[in-house]
Amino acid sequence: MTENGNSPARAGATAIADDGPKKKVKLNIFRGTEEGGKEVEYEVELAEGMVVLDAVLKIQAEQEGDLAVRWNCKAAHCGSCSAEINGKPKLLCKSRVDEYEGGEINVGPLRAFPVVKDLVSDVSWNYEVSKRINPFHSDEQAPFTMYEEDVERLYEPKKCIECFMCQDVCHVLRTHHKHEEFAGPRFFVRNQWLEMHPMDNQNRLEDIKEDDGVGLCNITKCCTEVCPVGIKITDNSIIPLKERVADEYYDPAKWLMRKLRGRRNGSSSS
Amino acid sequence: MDANANKNGNRENFEVREHDILIIGAGGAGMRAAVEASEKGLSVGIVTKSLLGKAHTVMAEGGMAAAIGNVDSEDSWRQHFIDTMKGGKFINNWRMAEIHAKESPGRVYELEQWGALFNRTPEGKISQRPFGAHTYRRLAHVGDRTGLELIRTMQEKVLATDTKVYMETTVTKLLQDASGRVVGALAYTRESGKFIHYKAKATVMATGGWGRIFKVTSNSWEGTGDGAILAYDAGAEMVDMEMVQFHPTGMVWPPGVRGLLVTEGVRGEGGVLKNSEGKRYMGDYDPERMELSSRDVVARANFSEVQAGRGSEHGGVYLDITHLGYEGIMAKLPTMHEQFLKLADVDIAKEPMEVFPTIHYTMGGIKVESEHCATTVPGLFAAGECSGGLHGANRLGGNSLSDLLVFGRRAGIGAIEYVEQNTHGTDIPEEDVQTEIRRVLDPMERPASDNDESPYLLQSELQDVMMEHANLVRDEDALKEGLRKILAIKDRVPNVKVGGNRLFNPGWHTAQDIRYLVQVSELIVRCAIERKEKRGSQWRLDHDELVEEYGNINFISKKGPQGEVEIERREIPPIPDHLAELLDQSAKGAKV
């Protein structure tokens, strides 16, 4: 059966090549580094259901072996292949070529971070921010008793796949380069679930105000628009955190308490 | 710490990094080992080919198996042990299966302690869902993105320790001292092509599987078997390499997503399989467990239906979850809904999915000692998918995430003890490092010639060979012809040539992967030729039944003195009474 050539297990190997009439698609891909580069036009055969990542990988395999692109799962679960299509951050694995029919497809790297090469940016800054965030801590011993209604609002921020497209599109980072003072939408999403987790006993409001700079966000909702997993970052993460910070720091009664007790160190366990 | 050699003639610059423990791979197993060792105060370096948090663990959807009995209180480690052994067709390492069943609950609770959030029962406990061949509802889960929850929790835990993370760094060789002990590794950073000599007293291999040997696969580019072959080249024994799991349900259409995983959670939530005649056919293959039979059985059923001419439009079968309705699907399987709507224009709340078996997981791998995951090479430990033994001939869904954490932790403990008990140095002759660097640079720096091969095309050619000769169905003639083709490709590997420079050059990176892919394919095919039976994922059409004499045999492969593959039939040690008794009771139909 493995030899007869009709096995469906074998058919999978050739299905891509045999598909339909040979239409072509053109892509302009940024080739270069932080120092500079240019858009180069490539042409590939179109296949049904093709996503931009398919086209880029086809160009890489057949025409430009050193074309740099970052990807992993190719299923929109891992957030590796974020880049910009026509200036907008997109997951390349989730962007269908036929969505752009009749128009241009210009593919470039995320621009809020230093460009390494071609479609790859240096996103390591995000991991530095992540490292400084006070992690989950509970004095209680798992297994916890938590009810669905206590935790259901945590599922949304927990969906984040760390594609960093919200970071890419955020004006505070992209235009004003406030990487030193501002953690970016991704990390307000993380702080949101940490703050709302019923078993966590840390107080991060001082960090969120001072280190993460939540006040710098002016609620343009650009981050929400690009989130590939549909997290309402502005409404559900940033605004609630801004409100908590306001309650803590700008409520006259709390201000007085703080003066009397001395400045809190932001961590009840340390 | 920094460069200790200047470019001088043929000598290349490289950095030296020293750690007590080097961990290669940052999926669930590697990160769990890192946390264990780092929290004990040891210096730990963890190397990953990707960014942190992108390892294939993130693709696990259905859940993590653990007998915590929150939904079915009758569940116990004993029944989990039995299910795992039955699923693996009894060639599993029984001690690993025992440890795994006993310790999985602790690892689930530990994740919760570290901030992971699972779906809840009405009593406020961790909820558990049914899954193929698990007797009870056993999988702790959060929707259909459990792997994301696990990897993000572990990632945040690792970042909170002193572990040094080396992202986008590729290991090319394990470095051994004169006695053969592993004392580090050579690697290069993908971004810049800078070389790093890691010196470490112990090394943990946690690099995952090798699904990229097939064209239709649920694996990312990373699954190229690096760790398995690095260990093999260092002299490690491998166990049951023929055992490669085909997941019953991969997407089939459109072409670009062929092989992409459709979670077993769909069947866990009541999804039914139908053929083109509209018949729910699993009753013909496993009337008791139906769609929730073990993966090997369901994969064969799906294959057989298509083979018999009862396939769907694009050569698959139908998987129908429409009974859940839109609301139910969005609560339990939102990722699947999005995946099909976005990539295939199919609304799974209204119409069935088309699915076909896809390569998914590798049960075989580096042979490890069951308590602390020591390989047969001193100083080298292994955990997770790159290691073998726990799952035998077929892995049950949900047993992978628990495997990662149970044995990732134990490998960490093994490495800690090894470091504490040994006072060896980690120096090796610099010439060894220089030789390896020259080998790695060769495809880029060698002058072009007429024999040059593209790494992408060679990989693609190998994938075609494996698809044709070592797929779900196998027979001796096809396997032998496949082996000839693989060996012919192996001869061409030194001709791989790439353009460009060291700066983030995927062609160069792919040139490194080819060696692993070819060698791992050779091991699989050679072992598949030896095991002449149908057992778990090994389905030999020319020996289409379970053969009793193979029931206590592992096929051990290792590198011979001339670089040839040596294969040994090795008897599985006798199972102790307390475990044999459980299997006996189960065979008599009793639940334990």
Q: What is the pLDDT of residues B452-510, one digit of tens each?
A: 999 999 999 999 999 999 999 999 999 999 999 999 999 999 999 999 999 999 999 99
Q: Which helix (H) or strand (E) is B197 found in, with range?
A: strand B195-205
- What three-state secondary structure class fits A30? strand
**Count of residues making up chain A:** 270
Calpha distance B14→A138 (Å, rounded) = 43
Interface contact flag, A66 B260, Cβ < 8 Å:
no
- Cα distances (Å, whole numbers) of residue B507 to A68, A69, B190, B499: 9, 11, 11, 7
Q: Which residues contact A34 (CB under 8 A, 6 or more apart)?
A: A114, A115, A116
DSSP secondary structure code for residue B15 in this structure: E
Given a contact cutoff of 8 angstroms between Cβ atoms, the answer to whether B204 and B163 are in contact is no
Q: Is B570 a catalytic residue?
A: no
What pLDDT is stored for residue A15 in this prediction? 41
User: pLDDT band at A266, cuts 50/70/90?
Assistant: very low
- Architecture of the domain whose range is B15-243+363-421: 3-Layer(bba) Sandwich (3.50)
The mean per-residue pLDDT over the stretch A34-49 comes to 96
- Tell me if the domain spanning B433-547 has CATH number 1.20.58.100: yes
Give tens-digit pLDDT for B215-242: 999 898 999 999 999 999 999 999 999 9
Domain boundaries for CATH 1.10.1060.10 within chain A:
124-261
Q: Give the tokens for residue B241.
A: 């390499």
CA of B433 vs chain A CAs: smallest distance (Å): 25
Q: How far apart are CA B533 and CA B540, in angstroms?
A: 6
Residue A269 has pLDDT above 60, yes or no: no
Q: Which of B456, B471, B503 sits opposite A9 (nearest CB)?
A: B471
Q: Which of the following is catalytic: B32, B129, B247, B469?
A: B247
DSSP per-residue codes, chain A:
-TTSS--HHHHHHHTTTT-SS--EEEEEEEEEETTEEEEEEEEEE--TT-BHHHHHHHHHHHT-TT-----S-SSSSS---EEEETTEEEEGGG-BGGGGTTS--EEE--SSS-EEETTEE--HHHHHHHHHS-----SSPSSP---HHHHHHHHHHHT-----HHHHH-HHHHTT--TTT---HHHHHHHHHHHH-TT-----HHHHHHTS-GGG-----HHHHH-TT---IIIIIIHHHHHHHHHHHH-HHHHHHHHHH----S-S--
Answer yes or no: do A61 and B456 touch at CB < 8 A. Answer: yes
A125 → chain B, closest CA residue: B51
* B253 contacts: CB under 8 Å, gap ≥ 6: A49, B313, B314, B316, B344, B354
Query: Distance between CA atoms of B326 and B329, rounded to whole angstroms?
Result: 5
Nearest 5°: phi and psi at B216? -90, 110
Which of B260, B335, B507 is facing A65, going by the closest CB pair?
B507
Q: β-pairing, B44-47 with B164-166?
A: parallel
Q: Which top CATH class is A124-261? A: mainly alpha
Residue from the list A2, A127, A135 with its beta carbon closest to the beta carbon of B468: A2
How many Å apart are CA B535 and CA B558, to the nearest integer? 22
**CA gap B499, B388 in Å, rounded:** 37
- The answer to whether residue A262 scores a pLDDT higher than 50 is yes
Contact A19 B255 (CB under 8 A): yes
Q: Across-strand partners of B388?
A: B367
Interval A243-258 mean pLDDT: 86
Other beta carbons less than 10 A from residue B64's beta carbon: 31
Location of structure tokens 């398995």: B228
Instruction: Give the residues of chain B that fall short of pLDDT 70.
Output: 1-9
Nearest residue on chain A to B110, judged by CA atoms?
Answer: A142
Nearest by CB to residue B255, choosing from A49, A67, A71, is: A49
Residue extents of the structural domains in chain B: 15-243+363-421, 248-357, 433-547
Closest alpha carbon within chain A to B457: A61
CB burial of residue A247 (10 Å; 0-12, 13-18, 19+): exposed
Report CA B41 to chain centroid distance, whole Å. 29
Tokens representing B373 are 């995951």
Q: Looking at residues A231-252, what average pLDDT do you find?
A: 94
**Domain A10-121 is classified in which CATH homologous superfamily?**
Beta-grasp domain (3.10.20.30)
State whether B256 and A51 contact (CB < 8 Å). Answer: yes
Give yes or no: B247 in active site. Answer: yes
In the block, tokens 């398919």 appear at A54
Question: Helices B506-530 and B226-233 sit at what angle, rounded to 10 degrees?
Answer: 70
> 3-class SS at B85?
helix
For residue B218, the distance in angstroms to the closest alpha carbon of chain A comes to 8
Which residue carries 């343009």 as its tokens?
A: A220
Among the four given CATH numbers 3.20.20.70, 3.90.700.10, 3.40.47.10, 2.30.30.240, the one describing domain B248-357: 3.90.700.10
pTM metric for this prediction: 0.94
Strand A24-33 vs strand A106-108: parallel, antiparallel, or unpaired?
A: parallel
Burial label for A38, CB within 10 Å (0-12, 13-18, 19+), is exposed
A122 pLDDT above the threshold of 70: yes
Q: What's residue A255's pLDDT?
A: 77
Torsion angles phi and psi, residue B569, rounded to 5: -85, 120
Euclidean distance between CA atoms A169 and A186, whole angstroms: 11
Q: Say if residues A144 and B164 touch (Cβ distance below 8 Å).
A: no
Tokens of A15: 């299905």
How far is the C-alpha of B460 from the C-alpha of B513, rounded, in Å? 12
The letter for the amino acid at A262 is G
Among B129, B190, B212, B267, the one annotated catalytic: B267
Residues of A within 8 A of B123 (CB-CB) are 145
pLDDT of res. A207: 97
Distance CA A191, CA A189 (A): 6
- Confirm if B330 and B314 have CB atoms less than 8 A apart: no
Q: CA-CA distance, B404 to A238, in Å (whole number)? A: 34
The whole-number pLDDT of residue B15 equals 98
Pairwise CB contact (< 8 Å): A135 & B156: yes
Predicted pLDDT at B592 = 77
pLDDT at position B84 is: 98
Chain position carrying tokens 């628990």 = B402
In this model, does residue A4 exceed pLDDT 90? no
Report chain A residues whose CB lies below 8 A from the CB of B148. Answer: 77, 159, 161
Contact A162 B53 (CB under 8 A): yes
Q: Answer yes or no: do A13 and B256 touch at CB < 8 A.
A: no
- Only one residue has tokens 């790695």, namely B440
A-B contacts (CB, under 8 Å) = 231
Pairing of β B195-205 and β B380-382: parallel
β-strands B128-129, B353-362: how paired?
unpaired
Q: Tokens for B258?
A: 């062929």
**Span(s) in chain A for CATH 3.10.20.30:** 10-121
Q: Is B388 left (phi over 0), alpha (psi -120 to 50) or beta?
A: beta
The residue with greater pLDDT, A9 or A255, is: A255
Which residues on chain A are in Cβ contact (under 8 Å) with B497? none
